[in-house]
Structure 1
Amino acid sequence: MDKVPMTVRGEEELREEHDRLMKRRPLITKAIAEAREFGDLKENAEYHAAREEQGFCEAQIRDIEYKLSVAQIIDISKIPNRGKVVFGATVTLIDCNTDDEVTYRIVGDDEANIKKNLISVNSPIARGLIGKKEGDDVAISTPSGVREFEVSSVEYA
């Protein structure tokens, strides 16, 4: 089983979600028990809804437990590669054609969320940035073609 990189914050968020779901478990069990008291289970919408919610909750718990079991937690503050783009770094780029500025944080696959500017370490942009330093120019293949960026800053939060 290969380890999957994850930031410290990503692990914290998964553990928080796991705790929330574990607290939800007894409430769902109680809802199932209460729904059973209504009688005929074949036509009992509350019972079926509670059982469906239980299945969904259990699947999420298993998924989170699996992700945590294969996670390799990487604490960026303990990595000595200062100045280079590495996993967990926050990178500000300047588009060489438009002078637009964009900032991305390179995270694990499960943490990626483009709306929050969190990109997967396996994305084409992140792969093109890994190992680069402030001031470096980088050409990255995107679905709309090759784009050139300058690495404006690299931060480790």
Structure 2
Amino acid sequence: MNRSNLITPEGATRLRNELADLWKNKRPEVTKAITAAAAEGDRSENAEYIYRKKQLREMDRRIRYLQKRTSHMKVVEHKPSDQSRVFFSAWIEIEDEQENILCYRIVGSDEFDADKRYISVDSPLARALIKKQQDDEVQVTTPSGEQLFYINKIWY
């Protein structure tokens, strides 16, 4: 499944800051530690050297990922003209069949966070909600089966 390139301004700032911090602060620290560990002698049995090389590989992988994502992301800075419907960055209050009230915000795939109640625009629930409006019923296929939700409220 292809991931959406949409992102909120806050999410874009967070990714750019992470990239800058990795590149300017953390990567130089790790390369300095690798140099110091390499100076200690035999690298094949040097745990510090092996650990730091692995750390650098993982960091470089994350840097490449962030460079690619930040160059292709589309920052959605404006609210939609039709705010009666669900679109990217909307907050939605929904109710399930057991009358449980749930509240979510639709964000980019790099921003989802269960603690903040952020769901990815690429998730099955968000896909089902897009373009719906208040009082609509939405059928969603979830890992536990089909679920029906009722849209109580939408806001931006």
Query: Shorter-normalised TM-score: what interval?
Result: 0.7 to 0.9
Q: How many residues align?
A: 153
Matches within 5 A, 1:55-94: 55-75=57-77, 77-94=78-95
2:51 to 44, 49, 52: 49
> 1:27 deviation in Å?
0.6
Corresponding residue for residue 145 of structure 1: 145
Structure 2 gap ranges (5+): none
Mapped to 2, the partners of 1:125 and 1:3 lie a distance apart of 15
Structure 1 gap ranges (5+): none
Matches within 5 A, 1:4-153: 4-22=5-23, 23-75=25-77, 77-95=78-96, 97-153=97-153
Residues 3 and 70, structure 1, Cα contact 8 Å, conserved in 2 = no
Residue type at the aligned position of 2:89: G
Residues 4 and 109, structure 2, Cα contact 8 Å, conserved in 1 = no
Question: Could you state the TM-score of these two structures normalised by the residue count of structure 2?
Answer: 0.87
Deviations 1:75-126 (Å, cap 9, x if unpaired)? Answer: 2x4422212100111111011x211001111122222234542222122211
Corresponding residue for residue 155 of structure 1: 155
> 1:35 deviation in Å?
0.9
Mapped to 2, the partners of 1:155 and 1:13 lie a distance apart of 23
Mapped to 2, the partners of 1:57 and 1:123 lie a distance apart of 27
Mapped to 2, the partners of 1:5 and 1:137 lie a distance apart of 25
Question: Could you state the TM-score of these two structures normalised by the residue count of structure 1?
Answer: 0.87
Residues 128 and 139, structure 1, Cα contact 8 Å, conserved in 2 = yes
- Identity within the alignment, %: 35
Residue type at the aligned position of 2:13: E
Mapped to 2, the partners of 1:137 and 1:149 lie a distance apart of 6
Mapped to 2, the partners of 1:130 and 1:33 lie a distance apart of 51
Instruction: Please give the root-mean-square deviation of Cα atoms over the aligned residues, in Å.
Output: 1.9
Mapped to 2, the partners of 1:24 and 1:144 lie a distance apart of 41
Mapped to 1, the partners of 2:33 and 2:143 lie a distance apart of 48
Residues 134 and 152, structure 1, Cα contact 8 Å, conserved in 2 = yes
Residue type at the aligned position of 1:79: P
